[in-house]
Structure 1
Amino acid sequence: MVLLQFGIVVLRYVFGISFIFLNEGVLYLHSTLFMLGAGYTYLVNAHVRVDIFYARLSDRGKAKIDLFGHVLFLFPAMIVLLYWSWPTVRTSWAILEGPISVGGIPASFLLKSLIPGFCILILIQGLSALIRDLLRIKEAKS
């Protein structure tokens, strides 16, 4: 992605040439990196967290907060996003939707498919975290 962006800059500012499909290539790569990398980010606990009280809690308290967050926020949000994005993705695949811009990459359907992929990966990782938190709560009791 960095090399592609570098090539775009060189082409534009040194040679005065611009290709829309190259610019969209950066968009596709950037989207793929973030949408499919989100599950891994969640796995290694590198996601954004608001640590107002969380940092001072015990392991059991942290597990309870995380459990609450998974059940009340994460799962409902991902299910709603999956539910509402699916018809758009299905339609996009049915017509093999073309480029975003004239002269762009003729595969918008692939880009839109990242949304349900993101939701599914986050749901799987959320389920894993939920099980981990339940075990942390159980271990802290005994």
Structure 2
Amino acid sequence: MARIADALDWINRIVGNVVMWFALAMVLLQFALVILRYVFGIASIFAGEGVLYLHAGLFMLGAGYTLLLQGHVRVDIFYARRSRRGQAIIDIFGHLALLGPALVILLYWSWPMVRRSWAILEGPISVGGIPASFLLKSLIPAFCVLLLIQGVSALIRDLIRLREAPDAA
């Protein structure tokens, strides 16, 4: 089972290692936009939307990688005082009852909108913007799939932890 979890982790490691460069690109593009606007008096809606696309890609595609690194915010009112077994039970509940269903619902309800957007190759958000809103909207199902993949990996690891942990909860 651990090998399956490792293979699932590999997917988000690859995506995370690519997407982390979006942060640098976003900062550099925003810096260039500021210089162009305030030094040269040049504004670009297209480049401004580029910052938006990079920002959306960074957070939407990087969510699974963040879960892999356990970087998501955790409210551990009960969690911190539990044994390894108790923590595994809480995590399993969270993956099965909260994370999984929420992502499946989001995927189900967003898919028709994304499909329609691709069918018409939906254009820019603003006049003069990037003519690819369909790509931006595609980040929603990609977010769901990558987070579900990482959720399954985490669930597998929690089941292993539950099996190996002492019985005292």
- TM-score between both structures, scaled by the size of structure 1: 0.97
In percent, how many aligned pairs have the same letter?
Answer: 75
- Tell whether 2:144 aligns with 1:119: yes
> What aligned pairs does 1:1-142 form with structure 2 within 5 A after superposition?
1-141=26-166
The one-letter amino acid of 2:74's match is R
Q: Measure, in 1, the Cα distance between the counterparts of 2:65 and 2:28.
A: 24
Secondary structure of residue in 2 paired with 1:57: coil
- List gaps (5 residues or longer) in structure 1: none
Q: Which amino acid aligns with 2:153?
A: S
The Cα of 1:70 is off from its aligned counterpart by 0.8
Distance of 1:89 and 1:141 partners within structure 2: 46
Q: Which runs of 5+ in 2 are unaligned?
A: 1-25
SS at match of 2:73: coil
Partner of 2:4: none
Deviation at 1:30, TM superposition (A): 0.6
Deviation, 1:53, is: 2.0
SS of the aligned residue for 1:6 comes to: helix
What's the TM-score, normalizing by structure 2? 0.82
SS at match of 1:51: coil
Q: In the comparison of the two structures, how many residue pairs are matched?
A: 142
CA root-mean-square deviation: 1.0
